[in-house]
């Protein structure tokens, strides 16, 4: 009964490189959310996806960031040409949705460090 799985747990990238963060939701969950957490700050919503669809990307920066949740395989958060300000913990959550109730469970996060 695995929970939400994220990998890698830690990722170091040089400025200008690409970062790919992966998230496998809990079994049976079809909704995935990505959040970013900067040191000493709360969780900031980035994007909400269902299988093959982006439902809400209002929290995604306009450039360099993209996300997908293909029919098969994990959800991917992709950051192109990383900058130091992208250093943060990135958390994925998955949920079932029962009407208006969304009970989301988080993965362990990927801690991205840009050097």
Partner 1 sequence: QKEVEQNSGPLSVPEGAIASLNCTYSDRGSQSFFWYRQYSGKSPELIMFIYSNGDKEDGRFTAQLNKASQYVSLLIRDSQPSDSATYLCAVNSGANSKLTFGKGITLSVRP
Where on the chain is the footprint of partner 1 (CB under 8 A)?
33, 35, 41-45, 48, 55-56, 59, 91, 93, 97, 99-109
Min CB(93)–partner 1 separation in Å:
8
Cβ distance to partner 1 smaller for residue 37 or 66? 37
Give the end-to-end CA distance of the chain in Å, rounded to a whole number. Answer: 36
Asked if 72 and 52 touch (Cβ cutoff 8 Å), the reply is no
Helices (H), 57-113: none
For tokens 């994925």, the residue is 92
Cβ distance to partner 1 smaller for residue 14 or 62? 62
115/106 Cα distance (integer angstroms) = 27
Cβ distance to partner 1 smaller for residue 41 or 72? 41
Min CB(107)–partner 1 separation in Å:
6
76/68 Cα distance (integer angstroms) = 5
Token pair for 16: 């200008």
Cβ distance to partner 1 smaller for residue 48 or 82? 48
Min CB(77)–partner 1 separation in Å:
15
Strand partners, 10: 111
Min CB(52)–partner 1 separation in Å:
16
């Amino acid at each position: 009964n695995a929970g939400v799985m994220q990998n890698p747990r830690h990722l170091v990238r040089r400025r200008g490189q690409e970062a790919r963060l992966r998230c496998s939701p809990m079994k049976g969950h079809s909704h995935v959310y990505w959040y970013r957490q900067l040191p000493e700050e709360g969780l900031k919503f980035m994007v909400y996806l269902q299988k093959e669809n982006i439902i809400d990307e209002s929290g995604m920066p306009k450039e360099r960031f993209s996300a997908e949740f293909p029919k098969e395989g994990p959800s991917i958060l992709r950051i192109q040409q990383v900058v130091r300000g992208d250093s943060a913990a990135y958390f994925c959550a998955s949920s079932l949705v029962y009407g208006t109730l969304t009970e989301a469970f988080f993965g362990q996060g990927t801690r991205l460090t840009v050097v």
